[in-house]
Amino acid sequence: YSFLSTFVATYVPEFKILAQHAAATCGVCQPVSRTVCLSENTFSACVKGVPLNDIIKCPTNFFCTDGDYTCYENADPVCKADSAPETTTVKPWTAEEACQQTTKSGFLENENDPTCTSYLYCKFATDGSLEILNLNCPTNKYFDASIKGCTDTKPAECTEVSTTLPTDEIPATIATTTTTTEKPWSAEETCLNVTKSTSFTNEDDPTCATYLFCYVANGAVKALIKSCPSTTPYFDSTISGCSAIKPNNCT
């Protein structure tokens, strides 16, 4: 009895984790962590079973698994070094393919817009040709795919648009001991020269629980403040993604 108790306490938890990892598939979004392992130590977050374009790297000596925290130290990785993601990996969503799957003109969700403030109109001509229009909801309204229209209520899966004031609207700080002042950090100014969607540290959040996501679409940039998931609750600027390990500069 003593030996059995020791075995269960010592080895069964590890066996449970290994069994969970073995059931995972390289290149496929996993329901537990809502991530997809792309290699031994890289992964992407998944939204509605579709991987995002941002590739996140695990810390040194950590490997991508299907555990709650995705990256585990010295763990057995889902993706082996000599294997590639299976061909069943879901392709990134595109407006063209989404519209082509419909049979008539109508409104569709823009899955490339995490704020849900824009949507698509698939317009089919009599000759069968397709025109795709990218439209915006009125201010403070969100597109709801269930009703195929804009509404006052933000759907649960949508993220908030940053409410940080543009730099030209931020009151100037009056210096008391010097004639120069440091310009306050601004989400919009950080995203100003970004040419592709990129994640940055939210310098207004010392806990590192949130981060700035500069979302680029149709040549326009939106500054979004997003939260790290509970499985990887800290944003790490060294990997430009959320991590289970709290960086030293976070409170």
Looking at residue 210, its pLDDT comes to: 92
Residues 154 and 218 in one domain: no
Residues 169 and 245 in one domain: yes
Looking at residue 34, its pLDDT comes to: 86
Residue 45, Cβ neighbours under 10 Å: how many? 21
Locate 42 and state its tokens. 């890289």
In a domain, 21, yes or no: yes
- Do 61 and 72 touch, CB atoms closer than 8 A? no
Q: Give the number of domains in the chain.
A: 3
Looking at residue 181, its pLDDT comes to: 52
Residues 7 and 51 in one domain: yes
- Rounded to two decimals, the pTM is 0.35
- Do 31 and 39 touch, CB atoms closer than 8 A? no
- Do 157 and 144 touch, CB atoms closer than 8 A? no
Dist. CA 112–CA 109, nearest whole Å: 9
Residue 93, Cβ neighbours under 10 Å: how many? 14
Helix (H, G, I), strand (E, B) or coil at 119: strand
Dist. CA 162–CA 243, nearest whole Å: 22
In sequence order, what DSSP letters do the residues of 9-50 get, joined into one string?
Answer: HHHHHHHHHHHHHHH--TTS--TTTSEEE-SSSEEEEEETTE
Residues 169 and 242 in one domain: yes
Strands 241-243, 50-51: parallel, antiparallel or unpaired by DSSP?
unpaired
Residues 167 and 251 in one domain: yes
In a domain, 84, yes or no: no
Residues 63 and 148 in one domain: no
In a domain, 170, yes or no: yes
Residues 174 and 146 in one domain: no
Residue 116, Cβ neighbours under 10 Å: how many? 23
In a domain, 86, yes or no: no
Residue 218, Cβ neighbours under 10 Å: how many? 8
Residues 153 and 234 in one domain: no
Q: What is the pLDDT along the chain (251 residues), one digit of tens a residue?
A: 343 333 333 333 443 444 444 457 888 888 888 889 988 999 988 888 888 878 899 999 999 988 888 899 989 998 987 654 454 445 678 888 889 888 788 899 998 899 999 999 999 888 888 899 999 999 989 999 888 889 999 998 888 766 555 555 455 554 555 445 567 888 888 898 888 888 999 988 889 999 999 888 877 888 899 989 888 899 998 888 898 889 988 98
Which of 158, 189, 215 is the last residue in one of the domains? 158
In a domain, 82, yes or no: no
Residues 68 and 130 in one domain: no
Residues 203 and 225 in one domain: yes
Q: Which domain holds residue 53?
A: 2-73
Distance of alpha carbon 74 from its chain centroid, rounded?
25
Residues 14 and 102 in one domain: no
Which of 73, 101, 129 is the last residue in one of the domains? 73
Residues 213 and 136 in one domain: no
